[in-house]
Amino acid sequence: MFSKISLSVLVIVAFVVSFMTTATPVEAEFRIGHHRAVMGSVTAVASRLGYFDKTFGKGNYSVKQFPQGKLMRQAILANSLDVGGAADRAFLSAISKKARVKGIFNANYWCKSNKLLAPPKSPIKTLKDLKGRKLGIGKATGSYFTLRTFILPKYGMTTKDFTTVNMNTDTRMAALKTGIVDMIGLNNPQAAIAIERGYARTVETYCRYANNLWIMMGNSRTIKSDRPGMVKFIRGYVKGMVLHRDNREKFARTYHAHMIRKGGKVSFSVIKASVSDIDFALSPNETDYKWFDYMGKVLLKLKKAKRIVDLRSEGMDLSMMKEAVKAEGYK
C-alpha cells in the first residue's frame, strides 16, 4: 500500500507528464546567416530596416554573420542554420553529394566585386605579369578556386607560375601595401576600401571568365518542417532587393551603418560603390544553368564533386521564391 506521500508524488508526476504531452510546443527561432562581404548586404539591410520583423515578427528569428559562404553551408549541413548563402562552387559540390540542402533562389551576381588588385605603381598590368611574384588570397575560398580553375588557364598559367600566400581577408590589404605580396584577391567592400585609400588598383575582375553566382541555400529539414518560414525569409529579402533597385542611396547608407556597427572603418563612398557592383535575378537563367553544367564537369574531374548534377531538375526548389515574389508583388 502506498503512503499518502507516495500517492501525492505520483499525482504530481502524472500531472507533469500530462502537461508535457498536451502543451503547445514553442516555435523554434528561424536562423538566418549572411556573408560579411557585399554578397550578404541585402540580408544585412533587410534585418537592420526591420523587414524580417514584418515577415517573421520580432524575436522569431536570428541573424548571424559569417566570413565565408563555405562556413554557412557547413552550418546548414550541421543543422545549426536554416538559411544562408554560398558561392556557386560550394553549393554545387554539396548538391552533388546529395547533402541536405536546397538552392532556394539565385541571390545575386558578384563577379564585378571579385577583384585582383596590385599597387598603383606596380608594373603588373595583367594577370600574366604575376609570374614569379606573390599572390595573397584565401586558398579555401571560391575566389581562389575560380582563379586557378577557370581564369589561369586562359593565360596559359597554373599556380606553379607564382607563389600563393594563404591569407585572411583582413591581412591582405596591409600585405599589399607593405610589399609582402605583389597582388591580392579581394571582394567588396574590402577591395573598394583598398582602392579608395590608394593602396591598390584593379587588374582584373572575374566577369570575363566566370559567371559568379551567390546562391541562397535552405536547410532541407527546415524546408520540410517550416516551409512558411522560408517564404517569410525570402519576402524580407525581396523587400531589401526592392530597396536596392528603387533607393540605392538609402540601401547604401543602411549597409554603411551596419558595417560601422560591426567595427568596419569604411567610408560611405566605398559602400555605395560596393553595393552598385552586385546585380540580381532570383531565378537562374539558361546562361546560369550552362555555367553550372560546365563547372560541374570540372568539379567532377577534380574530384570536388561526386557526380554531374543538372540543376534544371534537381538541387533547386524555386517554389518558395515564387510564392514570396507573388506575395510581395515583385516583378
List, in order, residues 6 or more apart from 223 with CB less than 8 Å away: 102, 104, 230, 317, 320
Q: How many residues does the chain have?
A: 331
Same-fold call for 30-110+212-328 versus 112-205: yes
Is residue 208 within 8 A of residue 297, CB to CB? The reply is no
CATH superfamily to which 30-110+212-328 belongs? Periplasmic binding protein-like II (3.40.190.10)
Instruction: With cut-offs at 50, 70 and 90, classify the pLDDT of residue 2.
Output: very low
The string of pLDDT tens digits covering residues 136-195 is 999 988 789 889 998 999 999 999 999 999 998 889 999 999 999 999 999 888 899 899
Domain spans, the chain: 30-110+212-328, 112-205
Q: What is the mean pLDDT of the chain?
A: 89
pLDDT of 84 > 80? The answer is: yes
pLDDT of 44 > 90? The answer is: yes
**Distance of alpha carbon 22 from alpha carbon 176, whole angstroms:** 63
Q: Which helix (H) or strand (E) holds 63?
A: strand 61-66
pLDDT of 1 > 70? The answer is: no
CATH architecture, domain 112-205: 3-Layer(aba) Sandwich (3.40)
The string of pLDDT tens digits covering residues 181-232 is 999 999 888 899 899 999 999 999 988 888 888 999 999 999 999 999 999 9
How much of the chain exceeds pLDDT 90, in percent?
71
pLDDT of 288 > 70? The answer is: yes
